[in-house]
Amino acid sequence: MTSEPPPHPAARSYDGEGITVSYDAHRCLHAAECVRGLPDVFQVGRRPWIMLEGASADEVADVIRCCPSGALQYHRTDGLPDEVPDVPTHVSLHGDGVFHVRGDLEVATPEGPRQETRVMLCGCGRTGNTPFCDHSGACADHVRARPGAGPGPCGAPDG
């Protein structure tokens, strides 16, 4: 059973056959899981940069679930379920001070609570996108010194 897509005020939506993808540029930390996973769909130099005709709804959903920041999300319009949260919830603190969280989440934001399945939360308290990390605080120096802090959820470097 599908639900209504969650409200994402800063997100831009892209409609494809059986799926709608939203992208919140303010949350993207450029792990590039999308670009590596489906380069025909996600091409940074192209406008629009997301062209869902390049893959099936299932393929797109699989790659979006690899996005550690939650900047990419999807809503199934073909009757299949939206993303199922990880159980149990998983929280890890990475070397750059960013908390990577996956699960059935309610995240308190200045705009009110949001239901999420994947987030990267600021650990230094200096983000300009509370509570999400934007690498504008203490972690920014760490990221510049060591891009790709570790393995991401789908095997590629996080960051």
Q: Using 50, 70 and 90 to split pLDDT, how confident is the model at 150?
A: very low
Distance CA 30, CA 158 (A): 8
- Determine the pLDDT at residue 88: 97
Distances (CA, A) of 47 to 21, 42, 57, 152: 15, 10, 20, 26
Q: Report whether 49 contacts 42 (CB < 8 A).
A: yes
Residue 48: count of CB within 10 angstroms of its CB = 10
Query: Which contacts of 41-45 are long-range, i.e. CB under 8 A and separated by 24 or more positions?
Result: none
Residue pointed to by tokens 């192209």: 46
Q: Using 50, 70 and 90 to split pLDDT, how confident is the model at 95?
A: confident
pLDDT single digits (tens) 17-59: 999 999 999 999 999 999 999 999 999 999 999 999 989 999 9
Distance CA 130, CA 41 (A): 29
pLDDT single digits (tens) 116-143: 999 999 988 889 999 999 888 776 665 5
